[in-house]
Chain A
Amino acid sequence: MTHGTFELDGREVPFSPGQTILQAALAASVYIPHLCYHPEFKPHGSCKVCTVKVNGRPMSSCTTPAQEGQQVESNTPEINEARRTLVQFLFVEGNHFCPSCEQSGRCTLQATGYALGMTNPQFNPLFPNRPVDASHPDILLDFNRCILCELCVRASGEVDGKSVFALSGRGITKHLIVNAESGKLGDTELSVGDKAVEVCPVGVILRKRKGFDEPIGRRRYDIAAIDEFAAAAPKGGTP
């Protein structure tokens, strides 16, 4: 049921009651770059990659309700520059070595970097020391690639009912932790079929021994760029 329309980069976009700007845009097959948003979870507004200007003010489009007559700017050089900078921050805060990463070609962070025209990391890498957790028999945790989107935290709590993951620390020291006395994934009830395993947009939560099973050319973003997926996606947007 259409409730009204707003203007996104000069185009009329219809919205339903309760929809955010991002949801309405994706439903209209318009891509707004985003990382922590997932159509199956309550919007979170933490990564800020989906920032747009609403009537001239920067807002997170994933948490801002769509309203009649809003003037929304998204695909502008200024906003895309800011988004690109945010993505570059994420690359240098972790250890993202796409050339040897098994998620290369199916990683939302990498695909978003491409969509935003990111050609280099620009900032000095921090090279944090983050050992992997291989204690679980079927799942590997590679903290090097975490972007703190909290999708696994939300999926494990809201869908799986296990609350395996949480974030700890503040600011630059914020990091993903495992809710177990030992801190090890092997001491949790996480299993390969869990939503928390499926939902990781980067290469942190990995099914073991899967690796490079998908050949180059058949990986998700080999087939189409992330903005093309959004254009073709069912209502609600891309995971």
Chain B
Amino acid sequence: MTTLETAAKPEGLRRIAIDPVSRVEGHGKVTILLDDQRKVHQVRLHIVEFRGFERFIQGRPYWEVPVMVQRLCGICPVSHHLAAAKALDLVVGAKTLTPTADRVRRLMHYGQILQSHALHFFHLASPDLLFGFGSAPAKRNVVGVAAAQPELARQGVLLRKFGQEVIRVTAGKRVHGTGAVPGGVNKHVTRAERDELKAALSQVLEWARAGVQLISRLHLANRHLYDTFGTAKSNLLSLVGARGALELYDGTLRARDPDGKILFDGLDCQQYRSRIAEEVKSWSYMKFPYLSALGPEAGWYKVGPLARVQNCDVITTPLAEAERAAFRDAFDGAITHAPLAYHWARLIELLHAAELIARLLDDDALSEGPLTATGPRRAEGVGVIEAPRGTLIHHYKVAPDDLVTMCNLIVSTTHNNTAMNEVIREVARAELDGREPTEALLNHVEVAIRAFDPCLSCATHALGQMPLLVDLVDAQGLLVKQLRRDSP
């Protein structure tokens, strides 16, 4: 890691806060410490909100969990809903789901990926990419995009709407549905619902393809900026499927080092703790996961589209695979760590999700067959899914009386915590050092964070896990009392 995490002598330094970071999900702030010569000494992304799901889920009945934990998020509730359901499938003994449950859940998930990626690119990220990082703030927003490029904005809105309709027919409603239950799902998708979605498919696929073309054009047209802005090398982590294929719903864990060498592969998700550890720091409510074999200094990693598209060996749908090949060729087959390449990878995934939805809508198992499966009860389960923002881990223990006794969530954005911090330090060093920090320059820091599409509200679920130090100081500045709570 770089040295800008903690200033050697913070006293007397000038503090600049970007509060709140805008056009991201949830609430966070960035603090930057500068000296008199405007040299940057410290840069931190702080997560300032506090949720507590890991604790208050304890003592609740397990069948309530997939519906309760999805309230972590209003953008990707389906991801939490499905990760929890997957973990609890194992608790109710449903090691293999029925074909109907598998298809309905996958369809729900791909709808989620599509709508979330569309939201991020068209609503949140595109203003920076279309108008420039330092363009007028009044224009640099989705309303500005709608005014300048109404057709593009319309496509973004309608792509998102399609994804939400997919969620509605599988989960019962567009946000916070109830479709996945431990052991399966609670409904079929009717043929009429499938036909309605199919009618929109050709348009959705066309817009998804156009989206990839747009971002690749933007990237290649400004190659130096896109390749170097905020670039910080790290390891990569994601699920992969059979034969190393890109897999968003169910697979095994694979990690690569910054140069693409595989660190581990085929890791059973139930064993995630054998490879991943978490560090806590006093200045953020978000934990800092790392690959335990490498330690916190070298073991941090990226998750999400940029990690997934480069971690896999192939994509199983033809249009997205062709785009993956173009992406890989653009970087001469090497791993890119450019945060702005996240956008390109994200839109490849959006196209992949659209293709998977098209494929699934022809599957009659969506509309007929048993909904749930059961088997011998177990006391524990881990559910891992690739949420839009990256690998999402839900881990529960359930007592024989059906109440949850332990819950551990490692949320996508949490995996990217160190990566985001390192990237904004790179940006601060390159863009801010020695210069007067204007709004336009500070937006560069936000652009780097936005590339990860962080969901800060999802990532701050821990309660009672963080170390806390309170100093009580008298009027003369003398320490009167110190209260301390260490992390367990």
Contacts and interface: CB of A to CB of B under 8 A. Distances in A.
- Does B bind A? yes
Interface in B153-196: 171-173, 176-179, 181-182, 186-187
Contact of B63 (A102, A214, A217): A102
A211 B181 contact: yes
Interface stretch (B64-72, B292-300, B452-460, B478-486): B64-72
B36 interface: no
B179 A215 contact: yes
Interface in B38-90: 59-61, 63-64, 66-68, 71
Contact of A212 (B67, B71, B399): B67
Contacts of A99: 67, 71, 176
Contact of B68 (A100, A134, A216, A218): A100
A216 B173 contact: yes
A132 B67 contact: no
Given A135-B401, A215-B172, A208 B61 contact: yes
B401 A212 contact: no
A62 interface: no
A132 B59 contact: yes
Contact of A216 (B92, B177, B181): B177
Contacts of A57: none
Nearest to B186: A215
B403 interface: yes
A215 B61 contact: no
Contacts of B178: 212, 215-216
A140 B402 CA distance: 9
A217 B179 CA distance: 11
A191 B171 CA distance: 32
A99 B71 CA distance: 8
Contacts of A102: 63-64, 67
A212 B181 contact: yes
Closest 6 CB pairs of A and B: A216-B172, A211-B63, A100-B68, A215-B187, A134-B401, A212-B178
Given A132-B59, A135-B401, A209-B63, 4 more contacts: A99-B67, A132-B60, A209-B92, A212-B67
Interface of B: 59-61, 63-64, 66-68, 71, 92, 171-173, 176-179, 181-182, 186-187, 399, 401-403
19 contacts: A100-B67, A100-B71, A132-B61, A134-B61, A134-B399, A134-B402, A134-B403, A135-B401, A140-B61, A208-B61, A212-B63, A212-B66, A213-B181, A213-B186, A215-B179, A216-B173, A216-B177, A216-B178, A217-B172
